[in-house]
Amino acid sequence: MKKVSAVNLGKLLEDFSQIEKKMSELHGSNNLLRLQLEKANRLLAISQSKEESAKKECATLQNMIKSLQQTIESQCNLRDENEKLKKIAQTLEQTLKANEQEYNNQIDGLLREAESKKEEHKLEQRKIYCNMSRKIETKEEEHKQLIEKKDLEILELMTQLRAQEKDKQNEIIKLQIEFSAKLARNQNKSPKPYPDPSALPSNIYRRKLQHFQDEKNKEIQVLRNTIRDLEQRLSGRQDFYLKRRQF
């Protein structure tokens, strides 16, 4: 019994030493593991922080990718729209060229028509000018004949006026001579107690002479008015034909 106890105790001490050794090793391992755990936790925190940053960066990149996709899609749409606009522009340019050619053709036609109308107008003007010239020449000839006729009438009236003035002047001289002779005869007669009767014939002769002279002046004035009226008519017609000729 004592041997068994001794063996067991030794073994127990040995085992205890082994266990203690193991415990020391385990404690060292635990310390090492604790250090590694702390390091791992620090690395985990750093990794988590990096993961958060990566997530944020990833979200930013995703947004950028979405924006780029939208931009690319817009560019594609713009490219398609640009192609459509190019085709429309080409179509419009062709239509514009066709319209421009048609417009130029119309302008050329209108210019030719205007030139033709201009020539026709010139011919019509020449015809009208020739007709007007012939009419004016005819009217001028008629007017010339009328002026000559009126000039002859005026000359005849002036001749008549001079003749009448001469006749009236002769009659006035004759009456003055008769009046002077009668007045001299009456003055040579002897005076009488009653009023001088020579005053009566003298007054009668004076009145007759004045009346005759007034009648003569009236006739002369009528002739002068007639001549002036004829001259005004001729002058008015000359001005009218002169204006028409200038036109």
Most confident among 15-29, 67-81, 160-174, 220-234 (mean pLDDT): 67-81
Instruction: Average the pLDDT over 103-117 and give the result.
Output: 88
The strand ranges marked E within the chain are: none
What is the enclosing helix (H) or strand (E) of 207?
helix 199-246
pLDDT tens-place string over residues 11-65: 777 877 888 888 888 888 788 888 888 888 888 888 888 888 888 888 888 898 8
Question: According to the model, what pLDDT value does residue 200 have?
Answer: 46
Whole-model pTM: value is 0.31
Residue found under tokens 């004592």:
2
What is the enclosing helix (H) or strand (E) of 135?
helix 2-188
Residues in CB range of 153: below 8 A, 6 or more apart? 230
Could you say which DSSP state residue 195 is in? P
> Is the pLDDT assigned to residue 109 strictly greater than 80?
yes
Contacts by 211-215, CB closer than 8 A, 24 or more apart: 212/168, 212/171, 212/172, 212/175, 213/168, 213/172
Structure confidence at residue 204 as a pLDDT band (50, 70, 90): low
174 contacts 205 by C-beta, under 8 angstroms: no
Could you say which DSSP state residue 192 is in? -
Domain residue ranges in the chain: 136-246
Question: According to the model, what pLDDT value does residue 151 have?
Answer: 78
- The rounded mean pLDDT for the chain is 78
How far, in Å, CA of 20 to CA of 26, rounded?
A: 9
237 contacts 143 by C-beta, under 8 angstroms: yes
